[in-house]
Amino acid sequence: MSTATVQVEEAEDRVVVTLHRPQARNAINAAMVAELHEVCAALEERPRLLLLTGAGGTFAAGADIAELRDRDREQALQGINSRLFDRIARLPLPTVAAVDGYALGGGAELAYACDIRLASPTATFGNPEPGLGILAAAGACWRLRDLVGASVAKQVLLAGRRLDADDAYRLGLVAEIAPAEELLKHAHALLDRMGRSGPLALRLTKLVADAPGGHPVIDDLAQAILFESEDKRTRMDTFLAGKRR
Ligand code: COA
């Protein structure tokens, strides 16, 4: 499937989405939002891993400012980006953002909504929204705090601090830094590792890990489902058979 603002490659266990609006540094406009919703619908229907990246040495330079300028209160309340990023965050199986170059504004928020991020050496995360007279309303104000702590999050949100690849790695925002030309290879290797886990186990682990607060009962219920699964028995039998050999 290839659409106007994103390129989508589907494989058996994963979908690779490349943001592709090179003329606007992959800025997220309404068309891209709609196309990413289509990707989400497909992944909700048939869960697979998701790899999100950007074309042309940029992840995404934010929401499309030309569209933002004309949006009013009603459209802000529709949560055009926040609903999409929440949908991405709640996808059944893990999501990985491979960030090469700028991930600013909504682009950064899209990366924050993914489960794991990888960076190229030129990756730069930032939320310059107040400079445009608005706030980062699609998750940065709470996801970034969860990811890097309140102190650094406020430096980014309030003082315009940009996190380069080294900062992002040191702070745990990204799992690793890889040369731009090898970034996707590293991202696929990460997906390969996750793909070897039991899909239902991975799915329930993500669900439970994202549940707010302490939740021992939810954990036990999820485990109860997994303990009854054929996949669990097969995997444990395989392990034990290997031990006996
Ligand atoms: N929305 C709409 N268009 C954007 C855009 C955005 N978020 N970011 C970049 N573009 C467009 C530019 O207007 C420019 O269009 P033009 O060629 O018609 O003039 C084109 O993309 C290239 O951008 P340019 O600024 O010339 O590229 P650069 O390599 O010098 O700088 C950035 C790259 C990302 C640093 C710079 O484009 C930028 O600061 N973008 C806005 C970031 C931002 O504030 N995001 C938050 C939005 S809420």
12 is catalytic: no
Is 175 in a helix, a strand, or coil?
coil
Report the separation in Å between the CA atom of 179 and the middle of ligand 1, taken as the mean of its atom positions: 23
Counting as low any pLDDT under 70, the low residues of the chain are 1-3, 244-245
Residue 1: per-residue pLDDT: 45
Q: What is the 3-state secondary structure (H, E, C) of 68-114?
A: HHCCCHHHHHHCHHHHHHHHHHCCCCCEEEEECCEEECHHHHHHHHC
Q: How far is CA 117 from CA 6, 70, 187, 191, in A?
A: 19, 31, 9, 12
Residue 17: per-residue pLDDT: 98
Residue 2: per-residue pLDDT: 45
Q: How far is CA 198 from CA 39, 44, 49, 194, 226, in A?
A: 23, 17, 12, 9, 10
Residue 136: per-residue pLDDT: 98
Report the separation in Å between the CA atom of 118 and the middle of ligand 1, taken as the mean of its atom positions: 22
Report the separation in Å between the CA atom of 62 and the middle of ligand 1, taken as the mean of its atom positions: 8
pTM of the model: 0.97
10 is catalytic: no
Nearest CA residue ID for atom 22, ligand 1:
24
Residue 3: per-residue pLDDT: 55
Q: Of 38, 109, 176, 228, which one is the catalytic site residue?
A: 109
Q: How far is CA 145 from CA 96, 107, 125, 156, 160, in A?
A: 19, 17, 14, 10, 15
CA-to-CA distance for 30 and 184, rounded, in angstroms?
A: 26
Residue 243: per-residue pLDDT: 72
Residue 244: per-residue pLDDT: 61
Tokens of 214: 């302490």
- What is the best residue among 25, 32, 70 to mutate for testing ligand 1's pocket, by most ligand atoms within 8 Å of CB? 25
CA-to-CA distance for 19 and 56, rounded, in angstroms?
A: 9
Strands 49-54 and 95-99: parallel
Please count the residues of the chain: 245
Strands (E), the chain: 6-10, 14-19, 49-54, 95-99, 102-104, 116-119, 124-126, 163-164, 176-177
